[in-house]
Amino acid sequence: MNTIKTIIVEDSRLARNELKELIKMHEEIEIVGEAENVDSAYTLINELKPQLIFLDINMPEKDGFELLEMLDEVPVTVFTTAFDEYAIKSFEYNALDYLLKPINQKRFTDAVQKIKDKINSEPTPNNSSTDFLNEESQIFIKDAEKCWLVKIGEVFLFEIVGNYTRVYFKDCKPLIYKSLHQVEERLPHHIFFRANRQQIINLKYINTVDNWFNGKLKATMQNGAEIEISRRQSSLFKDMLSL
């Protein structure tokens, strides 16, 4: 049985030790690192590429949400917190689960089952393309007081707004503080296509494609949004889809 590589992010040594004792009862979870603050956690996560993190929300200097905002790709996340209001808030982030401290053994076992179900349901990543995200990769988005953990495959449009990028998924359209070029560098190219200088579209969310003016194409998305594909990109689009 493959173990689940795990990092504990928790500023309290006592709380880390309590988590480790609970984890000992589940041989499928392998602790590969632990961090007591956000900056060391960020380094560890990028180096060790864990599948799972147990993440304390309320930490000094930077909190758990700020850590997620720093990451290009977010592992499966279980929040740990001593504060009920934080636990409730964490659901806005679409976290897999949350654990209230002190953590109950039965509650922890239930969380482990959720973790296994989620990880086993996801496709095995292709290690030869680790620079790219895949459809199941999660990104963290924070816009004002609202936050989301979103699968890349759920995003149907990225759009330039000044120096930022607007991300469209479901009925949400928050801003992220990255340029469209930074976003494009890590997107899976077989799914996402640069329609024009301002927009990148998810090919799976295209409803129809029609001829448009001056050799351009117009893509109509499933939600009704109409995206103009530039003349240069229309030629590439036709070649890619053998139109």
Cα separation, 230 vs 200, in Å, equals 12
Phi, psi (5° rounding) for residue 227?
-120, 125
Would you tell me how many other CB atoms lie within 10 Å of the CB of residue 239?
9
> What are the counts of helices (DSSP H) followed by strands (DSSP E) for the chain?
7, 15
Domain boundaries 4-126, corresponding CATH code? 3.40.50.2300
- Report whether 54 contacts 31 (CB < 8 A): no
CA torsion angle 66 70 72 77 (round to 10): -30
Tell me which residue of 98, 166, 96 sits closest to 136, measured CA to CA.
96
150-240 has the same fold as 4-126: no
- pTM to 2 decimal places: 0.81
Inter-CA distances, 112 with 6, 91, 99, 145, 177, Å: 12, 18, 11, 29, 33
Element housing 44 (H / E): helix 38-48
Q: Please give the pLDDT value at position 126.
A: 45
Which pLDDT tens digits describe the chain residue by residue (243 residues)? 589 999 999 999 999 999 999 999 999 999 999 999 999 999 999 999 999 999 998 898 899 989 998 998 999 999 998 887 766 666 666 677 888 888 999 999 999 999 999 888 876 554 444 567 889 898 888 887 788 889 999 999 999 999 899 999 999 999 988 888 888 888 998 899 999 999 999 999 999 999 999 889 999 999 999 999 999 999 999 888 775
Q: Beta strands 155-161 and 199-202: pairing type? A: antiparallel
Domain boundaries 150-240, corresponding CATH code? 2.40.50.1020
Indicate the domain borders of the chain: 4-126, 150-240
Q: Beta strands 52-56 and 29-35: pairing type? A: unpaired
Q: Per this entry, what is the length of the chain? A: 243
**Single-letter residue type at 160:** I
**Single-letter residue type at 133:** L
Q: Please give the pLDDT value at position 168.
A: 96
Q: Please give the pLDDT value at position 34.
A: 97
Within 8 A by CB and 6+ apart from 34, the residues are 7, 8, 9, 10, 16
Tokens of 28: 């499928």
Cα separation, 242 vs 213, in Å, equals 20
Phi, psi (5° rounding) for residue 242?
55, 45
Phi, psi (5° rounding) for residue 136?
-90, -10
Q: Please give the pLDDT value at position 131.
A: 64
- Report whether 34 contacts 16 (CB < 8 A): yes
